[in-house]
Every structure is written in structure tokens, then in C-alpha cells.
Amino acid sequence: MPAGSRYRCIAPPLTIDPEPDESGNTLEAWSLAREVLCSADGFKTFSAHPYRMHVEPGGKSARDYGSEGWLRERAADGSILHTVLSVSPESPRREATQGPPRILTQKR
């Protein structure tokens, strides 16, 4: 989040469900779903930004649904902070590390 922001966002665990074909005997795809939850009041209230995709057994994937979060708040100096939250299927451009979750920013 930008400096001065009261917003905090968390991503609960990914939900993975099998999608069988019509006969119910063969796996057609895996359904992956996640919501990013954002709050400015310690999660007394929050907004949810869902993201869903499916992955076929051969590895082909497609996004089913994705939503962006537009977070706006007034900073201490009176200015308005604008933050766009977007979940993407692209892997971050970094080596895997251990430790607590970190916010990653990507230049476009």
C-alpha cells in the first residue's frame, strides 16, 4: 500500500476444487478461487475482490472471473490516495523466498 495508507489487504488460502466432466468419471479441470480482502479499519469492515480461473489437466488455463479493487482514502494532509488492487495469474518476477508475505509491485 502507498505510504500513509490505512488500508491493509490479505489473501486467504487458495481454494482448489475438481471439475468433473458430464459423466463424473474424468477430471475436466481444476477450479482455483481466491478473494483478496481489504480494510481500513482493522477488518471490522472490509471489501472482497474475487479472482477465479480454471486449469485443465494438460496445463491450459483461463481466467473465469477477476475483479479489481479501487481503494480511495483521504490522507492526513488532505490529499486523496488512489490505489488499484489487481490480482494476476502471472508469476512474480523474483526468486522464491521464505518468510512472511510481502507486497510486490510490478512496473508495467
Concatenate the DSSP letters of all residues of 64-93 into one string.
EEE--EEEEEE-TTSPEEEEEE---SSPPS
CB 105 within 8 A of CB 91: no
Model confidence at 97: pLDDT above 70: no
Residue ranges covered by each domain of the chain: 8-85
Segment 50-69, tens digit of pLDDT: 889 888 888 888 888 777 78
Overall pTM > 0.75 = no
| DSSP secondary structure, 2-32, as one string | -TT---EEE-PPPEEEEEE-TTSSSEEEEEE
What tens digit of pLDDT does each residue of 64-93 get? 877 778 888 888 888 888 888 877 666 555
Q: Taking 90 as the threshold, does the pLDDT of residue 96 lie above it?
A: no
Average pLDDT of every residue of the chain: 81
Predicted pLDDT at 45: 93
